[in-house]
Amino acid sequence: MSARAAYAGATDTGLARSHNEDAYLVEPPLFAVADGLGGHMAGEVASAIAIETLREEVRPDSDEEDLAEAVRRANARIAEAVSEGRGRFGMGTTLTAALVRGTDILVAHVGDSRAYLLGADGLKRVTRDHSLVGELVRKGTLTEEEARHHPNRSVITRALGSRPDVEPDTYRVSAGPGDRLLLCSDGLHGMIRDNEIEDILLRAPDAQAAVEALLSAALDAGGLDNVTVIVVEIGETPQDAEGRSGRRWLAALGWLLAATLLVGAACLATYQYARHRAYVIDEGGVVTVYRGIPGELAGIELSWREQVTDVRTADLHPRTAARLAEGIPLDDLEEAMDLVAQYRLMVSEGSTVTP
């Protein structure tokens, strides 16, 4: 039994739909999300065919071209199914697939499901949406926020099953150990913003917890669509922990190594969390901004001084000064800077009143 899940996936019908047309695959090294389109249960047929085709065609050593070919094959199979009377004309599916080998990630993608990578610099989108609003955002015609509320936000410009010659985008990503890969349908990213996704991914202790937290966030936000989420911890090889050797010391060594890795991964997660946070504190009578978290954790300091400001604690309200003595934790550096700006304003307003 492993204490921490290296990968996990789950899907939920959501709160507004009668059935789930999403499908997903969690068979390391292969992971995929498909969001079926077409309604009347045809979407379910299309997404299931896409996932099944990948499972059959992709090998652990497949390269980018093999992966793209498997996606093309899935497209052809959906068309064949329609001609055989399974599903119905016009059915289709998105497909976002990732082949994860150590820190090397291959992605093939069609539609508006997404792959994200949480790395040392935060959350990055790996894929570009094949959607009307996605293209308008890239052209600068719409903002990300306008796209979220656009009436045509669900119009997809590329999907499997729609044309005989669908070409997937492929990406090769070199991740770092401790990074987290996220695959999801638009039932997640249509309901919650990227910064919320990032926050949840950063805080979750493992892949299983991340998947559960992301799903419930999408449902809390309204759950207007089927939602599917896969999270993979990069750099952890989910190989069988049972040693084949009967020798006890070898098994013990394995457990020791596993425990070390576990502690290492937990430290890394804490470190990643810490470096995105910020706090302000009174240091020598001056408000000082830090990245990280105040105090120390298991004897390790997780903070980096960012700025010694020109705001003197003595000029602030005594209650604020008292809080500053302890340090005030904030979500990120931007929030910390905002707070300092507020202090500055308070000080300058105070000085115009009292000569």
Cβ-based burial of 234 (10 A; exposed 0-12, middle 13-18, buried ≥19): buried
Q: Does 44 bind Mn ion (CB under 5 A)?
A: no
Q: State which H helix or E strand residue 337 sits in.
A: helix 333-353
Q: Shortest gap between Cβ of 226 and Mn ion (angstroms)?
A: 6
- Cβ proximity of 301 and 290 under 8 Å: no
Q: Does 129 bind Mn ion (CB under 5 A)?
A: no
From 173-181, 217-225, 274-282, 325-333, give the range in contact with Mn ion by CB under 5 A. Answer: 217-225
Interacting residue with Mn ion among 12, 129, 179, 186 (CB under 5 A): 186
- Report the nearest approach of Mn ion to the CB of residue 17 (Å): 9
The only residue of 12, 44, 206, 225 in contact with Mn ion, by rule CB under 5 A: 225
User: Which one among 29, 31, 32, 35 touches Mn ion, defined by CB under 5 A?
Assistant: 35
Residue type, 347: V
Full DSSP string of 195-238: HHHHHHHHH-SSHHHHHHHHHHHHHHTT--S-EEEEEEETT---
Closest to Mn ion by CB, 87 vs 187, is 187
Report the amino acid identity of residue 333: L
Nearer CB in complex with Mn ion: 85/151: 151
Token reading at 155: 């119009």
140 phi and psi, to 5 degrees?
90, 5
- If one asks whether residue 112 binds Mn ion (CB under 5 A), the answer comes out as no
Q: Are 96 and 84 in contact (CB under 8 A)?
A: no
Give the binding range for Mn ion (CB under 5 A) out of 3-11, 34-42, 294-302, 334-342: 34-42
Task: Give the Cα separation of 11 and 33 in Å (integer).
Answer: 10
Instruction: Decide if residue 206 touches Mn ion (CB under 5 A).
Output: no
- Pick the stretch among 75-83, 208-216, 219-227, 270-278 that binds Mn ion (CB under 5 A): 219-227
| Residues found near Mn ion in the complex (CB under 5 A) | 35, 185-187, 225
